[in-house]
Amino acid sequence: MVNIFESLQIKSPFLKALNDEKYQIPTPIQKECIPKVLDGYDILGIAQTGTGKTAAFSIPILQLLNGSQPENKKRSTRALILAPTRELAIQIGSSIRLYGKYIAFKHTLIYGGVGQKPQVDALKRGMDLIVGTPGRLLDLINQGHCQLDKVEYFVLDEADRMLDMGFINDVKKIVKILPKRRQTLLFSATMPLAVESLASKLLYKPEQISIKPSSTPVENIKQLVSFVKVEEKRKYLKNLLKEIVFSSVIIFTRTKHGANKLSTEIKSSTIISDALHGNKSQAARLRTLKDFKLGKINVLVATDIAARGIDVEGISHVINYELPNVPEDYIHRIGRTARAGASGTAISLCSPNEQPFLKNIEKLMGLSIKVFDGQPSTDIDEINKKPHRKSTNRFSKNRKLSPKNLIKKESVKKNTPNKNKRFHKKKKKNIGKYS
């Protein structure tokens, strides 16, 4: 089979690395981005995580760096990649190591949550390329350990997340240190005004590449939604985890505190669980991820930001304990299951105040998510075999949540055009109209 990457001006060392991984067909952003980066253009890329953008910027930058560093001189940092989270920085670093394994270059990772001495020692040796998070990098710059006056290629990844996490000011401080003459690549999933303003200041006559966000999850993901009051969610979730058959589960919450609290409660029900969020040390986060990959942890409770960079096979279920307010994040969440051709199940617990989020998610996907009222005793697939039966008030305080009762009452409700009918009439006034 012909490797289509050959048509993108990619040279043999990188083609060989791609062939090793059986990468032969570039993604849309790779097809558009790689030749333009090699031609020297600044890039404004609008693309979600998971579109292949890491390869889209790292391969051409590595090719541009290759062979142009004098061997008899101390290496200067000529390429800088900034990412919003430690996990994403680590993932980018792994990809760079993979794509550049057949060339002679040096790179290092700079991020917080770990001791800085190994990072300082690496910088002293001289690095061609740095992948880092803004906070730690700025600390090392201010301490005189990091020189960026020779940077020729600058990548700002997930600029909107940088904004959300409060890193934009740190980014601006770092940019001021960089040479004026450089090639800059900025990527963002969305383009709010603050990011648009930043892009106008950083980029010179950029080529804009916009990749439409995926609105279609993997076909073999079974999607289900259950309507549960906020105050009943914890009990419902614990019953759900007792009754479903799973290999490993990721549960998504909106907050770090919520992830911690939920993980602790799940542990008490004899299920091995741990939380993953930004308040944990880097060592603790890496240890949690390792244990999850090895199967020592069955259930991982995570926030959206902390979960970026997680790529674990064999996840059977994704549970949205709280629905995301950004519909694309739902696609990203449930895509953690059903990897490599496997099947998976995504279950969302929707409270009345989250109904607008559900509507936006369904609108993005162009489909209605199946509704179920109970919990399966053996397999989620069995739910669909139960005869449809009209439910009573799904948010009633008196509703029993014991596994026995849930199994008895489990059913699938066919979706109705009017989503407000999913909730009891008396509760409609608390939901509000969709905007």
Q: Please name the helix (run of DSSP H) or strand (run of DSSP E) that holds residue 243, with its range, or none.
A: helix 233-243
- Residues 162-167 have a mean pLDDT of 84
Is residue 155 domain-shared with residue 106, that is, in the same domain?
A: yes
> For the whole model, what pTM was predicted?
0.65
Q: Taking phi first (over 0 means left), then psi (-120 to 50 degrees means alpha), and beta for anything else, what does residue 307 get?
A: alpha
Domain boundary among 157, 188, 210: 210
Residue pair 29/185 in contact (Cβ under 8 Å)? The answer is no
Same domain as 232, residue 141:
no
- Poorest-pLDDT segment among 9-13, 141-145, 311-315: 311-315
Name the pLDDT band for 229 (thresholds 50, 70, 90). Answer: very high
Confidence of residue 283 (pLDDT cuts 50, 70, 90): confident
- Residue 257 in domain: no
Q: What is the rounded distance in angstroms from the CA atom of residue 189 to the CA atom of residue 309?
A: 15
399 vs 154, more confident: 154
Residues 139 and 240 in one domain: no
Any idea of the CA torsion for 59, 63, 64, 69, to the nearest 10 degrees? 130
Nearest Cα neighbor of 324 from 292, 364, 367 is 364
Identify whether the C-beta of residue 130 lies closer than 8 Å to the C-beta of residue 107.
yes
Q: Assess whether pLDDT exceeds 90 at residue 99.
A: yes
54-90 pLDDT, tens digit per residue, is 999 999 999 999 966 656 567 899 999 999 988 889 9
User: Across all residues in the chain, what is the average pLDDT?
Assistant: 81
Task: Looking at the structure, tell me whether residues 417 and 363 fall in a common domain.
Answer: yes
Query: Sign (positive/negative) of CA torsion 357, 359, 365, 368?
Result: positive
**Which pLDDT does position 71 carry in this prediction?**
60
pLDDT of residue 215: 58
Q: Both 173 and 69 in a single domain? A: yes
**Is the pLDDT assigned to residue 11 strictly greater than 80?**
yes
pLDDT digits (tens, 9 = 90+) for 267-279: 866 688 999 887 7
Query: Kindly report the CA angle at 292 between 287 and 296, in degrees rounded to 5?
Result: 95
CA–CA gap between residue 377 and residue 384 (Å, rounded)? 13
Q: What is the pLDDT of residue 218?
A: 62
Query: What strand order describes the sheet that includes 153-156?
Result: 107-110, 129-132, 79-82, 153-156, 183-188, 43-46, 207-210
Q: What pLDDT digit, counting tens, does each position of 134-148 carry?
A: 999 999 999 999 999
Residues 182 and 43 in one domain: yes
User: In this predicted structure, what is the pLDDT of residue 407?
Assistant: 35
344 has pLDDT over 70: yes
| Element counts in the chain: helices (H) and strands (E) | 16, 15
In a domain, 307, yes or no: no
Distance between CA atoms of residues 50 and 117, nearest Å? 32
For the ranges 155-169, 202-216, 249-263, 388-402, the lowest mean pLDDT is seen at 388-402
Q: What pLDDT does 372 receive?
A: 78
Q: Which of 155, 170, 191 is CA-nearest to residue 83?
A: 155
Q: How many Cβ atoms are within 10 Å of 166's Cβ, its own excluded?
A: 11
Q: Which residues form the domain of 201?
A: 4-210
Query: Of 153, 183, 210, at which residue does a domain stop?
Result: 210
Is 286 within a domain?
Answer: no
pLDDT at 289: 85
The three-state secondary structure class of 273 is strand
Structural domain count of the chain: 2
What mean pLDDT do residues 181-210 have? 92
Q: What is the pLDDT of residue 383?
A: 38
- Whether 293 maps to a domain, the answer reads no
One domain for residues 111 and 78:
yes
Looking at the fold, whether 104 and 241 belong to one and the same domain comes out as no
Residues with Cβ within 8 Å of residue 405, at least 6 apart in sequence: none
Task: Please report, for the domain that includes residue 51, its CATH number.
Answer: 3.40.50.300
Residue 224 has pLDDT above 50, yes or no: yes
Mean pLDDT of 427-435: 34
Q: Is residue 297 part of a domain?
A: no
Asked if residue 110 has pLDDT above 50, the reply is yes
Q: Which of 188, 210, 232 is a domain's end point?
A: 210
**Whether 172 and 228 share a structural domain:** no
Does residue 16 belong to any structural domain of this protein? Answer: yes
Q: Do 226 and 205 belong to one domain?
A: no
Residue 263 lies in a domain: no
> Is position 304 within any domain?
no
Q: What is the C-alpha separation between 167 and 87, in angstroms, rounded?
A: 16
| pLDDT of amino acid 341 | 64
What is the token pair recorded at 82? 């900034």
pLDDT (mean) for 186-209: 92
**Percentage of residues in the chain having pLDDT higher than 70:** 79
Task: Indicate if 178 and 238 belong to the same structural domain.
Answer: no
Q: How far is CA 354 from CA 351, 359, 394, in A?
A: 5, 9, 15
Q: What's the pLDDT at 332?
A: 81
Q: Is the pLDDT of residue 424 over 60?
A: no
Asked whether residue 169 falls in the same domain as residue 231, the answer is no
Q: Which pLDDT score, from 0 to 100, does residue 349 have?
A: 95
Cβ-in-10-Å burial (0-12, 13-18, 19+) of 115 comes to exposed
CB of 319 within 8 A of CB of 330? no
